[in-house]
């Protein structure tokens, strides 16, 4: 039986309300995923509109095309950070709005083959882009102690980084660490469980972020993508943890102080109680929106 993957788009009606200001405009969905936001946007947009959907994950792009099934969607297998060059090749210099919904989709998390989930056994992969060369297994099996400690601290905000990194190095001397469950057990062997969160949660997050250069890509995109916006167009960014949100908040502030951009909301917007009740993944979402005014 073929598995049907789902991903519920977060804050979708608020984002559509804030972003879609020109019914026949050209919009970019930098993180198309399974096409949840785009599908909704297209129900709100006119016949001449276009959505340019980017994703690093070719499997997700194929599913999104099938689900959205709309000729107004054009997809690109590329990083959103490369959008300025890529859009130029198809004759697009300016867009009417842009969304980045950061992190990973439920499809990626729930599919054990992709190696993102600490709850299910699978290869220790974690690449968004299956044509990229670096996997999470490469990191834990080949990177030096200091580097593993650095990513656990910087990306996982893991207080036990040294203990975990030492355990990873000891384990890989015995046998290569190839699966999610091997890594989970290594972390469990040195960090006791406190409360609800599994002790390997932050290690998995750190590896995913390192493997896909997530923070570096977000920082690059925040520098490059606002330049694509037409006057009056908006950029919305949905984040799921404080490290990303801080980058967005600071860069939007810098842009606003330059005079060409304005913050649409002073503070980050969050999903309402009902959405969080229905979709647990929404609980940590923060939305920030900026508008090009000059």
Ligand X SMILES: C[S@@+](CC[C@H](N)C(=O)[O-])C[C@H]1O[C@@H](n2cnc3c(N)ncnc32)[C@H](O)[C@@H]1O
Residues in touch with ligand X (CB under 6 A): 7, 9, 30-31, 33-37, 54-57, 60, 79-81, 101, 103-105, 128, 217
- State the number of CA atoms in the 13 A half-sphere of 63 facing the CB: 19
Closer to ligand X by CB, 101 or 291: give it: 101
Closer to ligand X by CB, 31 or 117: give it: 31
Closer to ligand X by CB, 165 or 248: give it: 248
| SS3 letters across 181-193 | HHHHHHHHHHCCC
Please tell me the distance from the alpha carbon of residue 45 to that of residue 27, in angstroms, as a whole number: 10
Closer to ligand X by CB, 101 or 167: give it: 101
Strand 50-55 to 229-239 pairing? unpaired
Which residues does 102 contact at the CB level (< 8 Å), separation at least 6?
31, 214, 218, 237, 238, 239, 240, 244
Q: Residue 41 carries which DSSP code?
A: H
Q: How far is the CB of 89 from ligand X (least distance, A)?
A: 17
Q: How far is the CB of 9 from ligand X (least distance, A)?
A: 4
E strand residue ranges, 23-72: 26-29, 50-55
Provide the token pair at 225.
Answer: 């993508």
Please tell me the distance from the alpha carbon of residue 248 to that of residue 66, in angstroms, as a whole number: 32
Q: How far is the CB of 219 from ligand X (least distance, A)?
A: 11
Closer to ligand X by CB, 19 or 191: give it: 19
Q: How far is the CB of 259 from ligand X (least distance, A)?
A: 29
How big is the CA angle at 85 (ends 16 and 128), to the nearest 5 degrees? Answer: 65
Provide the token pair at 231.
Answer: 């006057």
In DSSP terms, 76 is beta-bridged to 54
Q: How far is the CB of 95 from ligand X (least distance, A)?
A: 15
Provide the token pair at 143.
Answer: 């990177």
Q: How far is the CB of 16 from ligand X (least distance, A)?
A: 12
Closer to ligand X by CB, 63 or 255: give it: 63
């Amino acid at each position: 039986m073929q598995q049907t993957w789902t991903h519920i788009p977060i804050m979708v009606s608020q984002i559509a309300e804030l972003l879609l200001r020109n019914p026949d405009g050209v919009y970019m969905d930098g993180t198309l995923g399974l096409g949840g936001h785009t599908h909704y946007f297209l129900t709100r947009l006119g016949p001449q509109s276009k959505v340019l959907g980017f994703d690093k994950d070719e499997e997700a792009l194929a599913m999104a095309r099938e689900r959205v099934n709309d000729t107004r969607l054009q997809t690109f297998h590329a990083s959103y950070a490369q959008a300025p060059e890529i859009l130029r090749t198809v004759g697009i210099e300016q867009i009417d709005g842009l969304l980045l919904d950061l992190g990973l989709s439920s499809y990626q998390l729930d599919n054990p083959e992709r190696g993102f989930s600490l709850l299910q056994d699978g290869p220790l992969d974690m690449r968004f882009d299956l044509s990229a060369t670096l996997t999470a297994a490469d990191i834990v099996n080949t990177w030096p102690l200091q580097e593993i400690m650095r990513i656990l601290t910087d990306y996982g905000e893991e207080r036990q980084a040294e203990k975990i990194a030492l355990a990873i190095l000891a384990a890989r001397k015995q046998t290569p660490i190839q699966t999610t469950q091997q890594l989970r057990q290594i972390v469990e062997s040195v960090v006791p469980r406190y409360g609800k969160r599994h002790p390997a949660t932050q290690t998995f997050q750190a590896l995913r972020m390192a493997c896909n250069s997530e923070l570096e890509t977000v920082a690059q995109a925040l520098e490059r993508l606002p330049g694509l916006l037409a006057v009056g167009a908006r950029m919305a960014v949905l984040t799921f943890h404080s490290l990303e949100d801080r980058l967005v908040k600071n860069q939007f502030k810098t842009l606003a102080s330059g005079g060409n951009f304005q913050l649409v909301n002073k503070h980050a917007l969050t999903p309402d109680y009902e959405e969080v009740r229905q979709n647990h993944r929404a609980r940590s979402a923060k939305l920030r929106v900026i508008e090009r005014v000059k």
